[in-house]
Amino acid sequence: MEFQLVKAGTSVGANYREANRAESRNDFIHKLAIVEKESAESGYWLELCQEAKLGNAELRQWLIQESRELLAIFTSAGRTSKANRTPSKTRQH
């Protein structure tokens, strides 16, 4: 369980860094969606740690709250980016 949390948690940071180096708005939106997914997964593992009473209770609760706040920030950023995206030309098939 702890390994999965470390994997998902560190993936949030790595993918956020990649999103900030995106080559286009669509690339940014795609990479930010990955950040959202990894952030949600981190929250899941933290909640499992909470249920299993692993580690320090106060620290667990703080981490869960931080995880929820970060997920809200990433979700909001993704929605804003999608809303501000310039419409692309429709492909002709």
SS3 46: helix
In a domain? residue 14: yes
Containing 24, the helix (H) or strand (E) segment is none
Tens-digit pLDDT profile for residues 23-32: 999 999 999 9
Q: Which two tokens stand for residue 63?
A: 């981490």
Tens-digit pLDDT profile for residues 14-64: 999 999 999 999 999 999 999 999 999 999 999 999 999 999 999 999 999
For residue 67, give the CATH number of its domain: 1.20.1440.60
HEC string for 35-79: HHHHHHHHHHHHHHHHHHCCCCHHHHHHHHHHHHHHHHHHHHHHH
Look at residue 5 in the predicted model and tell me its pLDDT: 84
Look at residue 88 in the predicted model and tell me its pLDDT: 59
In a domain? residue 21: yes
In a domain? residue 71: yes
Look at residue 13 in the predicted model and tell me its pLDDT: 94
Which positions ≥6 away from 22 have C-beta within 8 Å? Answer: 28, 30, 31
pLDDT higher for 12 or 4? Answer: 12
